[in-house]
Amino acid sequence: MINSYNKNKDFLTTLMFSENTSRLTLVSLSSSCSPTIENHKHFSQNIIDILNELTVASILLSSTIKHKGAVTLQIHGDGPVSLAIAECRHNLTFRSTIKQNEKYSNVGNLDFQSLINKENKGLFSLILDQKIKNKKPYQGIVSLNKSSLASTVENYLIKSEQISSVLRLFTNKIKTIGILLQLLPDKINSNCYQWNILKNSIKKLTKHNILENDFPLEYIVDLFLAEKPRQVKKKYPSFLCTCNEEKFLKVIEKLGKEEIKKITKNKKFLDAKCEFCNKTFKLSLKKINYLFSF
């Protein structure tokens, strides 16, 4: 029997089943008091919902990598949401942010498609950085032609990664829950009766089933009791921003000498604010000048 967990504790757990055909990973993340939401509380709830779901999706995908790298999910929208980024590292530390196009107002009633893909030009990308010297990060891109973030990520996994997957994301003001079911690579050509049972049941889950239940893990275990689920992993994701002064100086260097001259004119220092954690750095002109040898 799987032990109960503190319902206020963020967690990730992975289940395997009797025939070892499939892996199910479940993430529960608080929505009401996380640093991510605190830093974006001025946005409408439907935009915060996208941020919550993207964050949980990045945690789910990061948990499947076997190296000490990071997974970054990005939405490049062409509507009220212009950009959303969620990064999760191999140790399940994460950070995320979202941007709203200022020309749009009164967006509180818009759905996912209207928020990010107004002109059907939006893109979703996954960046896999293995943190290996001289090895460039891998990036995969698909169009945002689905009605939800879950179906967009699921479509990416099936088409780009060729992994049979079912992803469900549920969120409200209290918590966000993500469930990722994947067929294991060595079972693709086998008779996967168990996979079909799991897949069809996961697709039928409703927001009420999951979010109104104080113990979603126990609910999933009871749902699949006949498939003999066993817990093989339990970890605790946490917010961690990796911003520092050196990273901001590198960004400034990329902007170029002429652009920085305009920005720093008549200033003694330059304010740089992290969009993930809201921390502000005061960069002295002495350090900036050293970059370009003004």
What residues does each domain of the chain span? 11-239, 245-292
State how far the Cα of 47 lies from the Cα of 31, in Å rounded to an integer: 13
Distance, CA of 195 to CA of 57 (rounded, Å): 21
Give residue 32's pLDDT.
Answer: 65
Pick the CATH number of 245-292 from 3.90.1280.10, 3.90.190.20, 2.60.120.260, 3.90.230.10: 3.90.1280.10
- The per-residue pLDDT for 55 is 96
Residue 80's nearest CA partner among 127, 125, 48 is 48
Query: Can you give the pTM of this predicted structure?
Result: 0.88
Domains 11-239 and 245-292 share a fold: no
Please tell me the distance from the alpha carbon of residue 95 to that of residue 232, in angstroms, as a whole number. 25
- Residue 102 CB contacts under 8 Å (≥ 6 apart), including other chains: none
pLDDT at residue number 5: 34
- According to the model, what pLDDT value does residue 2 have? 44
Token pair belonging to 28: 């529960």
**Which is it for strands 165-171 and 175-183: parallel, antiparallel or unpaired?**
antiparallel
Helices (H), 117-242: 149-159, 193-203, 207-211, 216-223
pLDDT tens by residue, 61-81: 999 888 788 999 999 999 999
Q: Which one-letter amino acid corresponds to residue 206? A: T
CATH number of 11-239: 3.55.30.10
